[in-house]
Structure 1
Amino acid sequence: MLTSKQRAVLRAQANGLEVVFQVGKGEIDEALIKTTADCLAARELIKMKVLETSAYTAREAAEALAAATGSEVVQVIGSRFVLYLQKKKDSKYAPLLPR
């Protein structure tokens, strides 16, 4: 569970990130979950977008993907959201996070 200070640091880091995946009108299926999990394993912090044609709101999609991948929702703004999953070793963001 992230504290508010940790969440603030991650929000600042995510500000410059580009959207890596989009949630469209299809459901959140195994393929999307797997690619999201793989991307989180490689990058730790990712930004995603929910298209207008989607049946999900950004909050719903973020919560569903976070639960499926074991990650944390950092923020949800408009149609975009940020997920974080800390690496076991060599984490890029762990030294930045206050304890």
Structure 2
Amino acid sequence: MANATTLSNKQKQHLKSLAHSLKPVVLLGANGLTEGVMAEIELALDHHELIKVRVPGEDREEREAIYATIVAHTGAHRVQVVGKILTLYKPSPEAKITLPRK
């Protein structure tokens, strides 16, 4: 993983509660994971820190591969996956979200 730190369960729970009311900000289209989509995810992470990405498709393994690619490329934490929605967290220099201690 690109991050030096990992999230504790307590921190993940906190992020999940914050993400609960969020709507997906990035939706993968028919073209899948393109450079444009990756740029959009990066921008959204920089701006919001905590985002949801909707990954359509019926093949679970294919979606898992897409999730792994997004996490590897962005260096973001994978908070959770519910159905076809991936929740990501990546702290920005402004640190908008305060995580509980480990």
- Of the candidates 17, 21, 46, which is equivalent to residue 12 of structure 1? 17
**Structure-to-structure mapping, 1:55-74, within 5 angstroms:** 56-57=62-63, 59-74=64-79
Q: Work out whether residues 50 and 56 of structure 1, in 8 Å CA contact, stay in contact via their aligned partners in 2.
A: no
Question: What's 1:30 paired with?
Answer: 35
How far does the alpha carbon of each residue in 1:33-57 deviate from its partner, in whole angstroms, 9 at most, with x for none? 1111011000000011111378931
For 2:9 and 2:30, locate their aligned partners in 1 and report how far apart those are by CA, in whole Å.
32
Deviation, 1:68, is 0.7
Deviation, 1:23, is 1.8
Q: Aligned letter for 2:78?
A: V
Deviation, 1:61, is 2.2
Question: What's 1:50 paired with?
Answer: 55
For 1:67 and 1:43, locate their aligned partners in 2 and report how far apart those are by CA, in whole Å.
19
Deviation, 1:69, is 1.0
For 1:67 and 1:28, locate their aligned partners in 2 and report how far apart those are by CA, in whole Å.
13
User: Normalising by structure 2, what TM-score?
Assistant: 0.82
Q: Which has the higher contact order (CA 8 A, sep 6+)?
A: 2
User: Runs of 4+ in structure 1 displaced over 6 angstroms?
Assistant: none
Greater fraction of residues in strand:
1
Q: Aligned letter for 2:81?
A: V
- Residue 25 of structure 2 aligns to a residue in which SS? strand
Question: What's 1:79 paired with?
Answer: 84
Structure 1: gaps of 5 or more residues: none
Identity across the alignment (%): 27
User: Normalising by structure 1, what TM-score?
Assistant: 0.84
Deviation, 1:79, is 0.8
Task: Give the number of aligned pairs.
Answer: 96
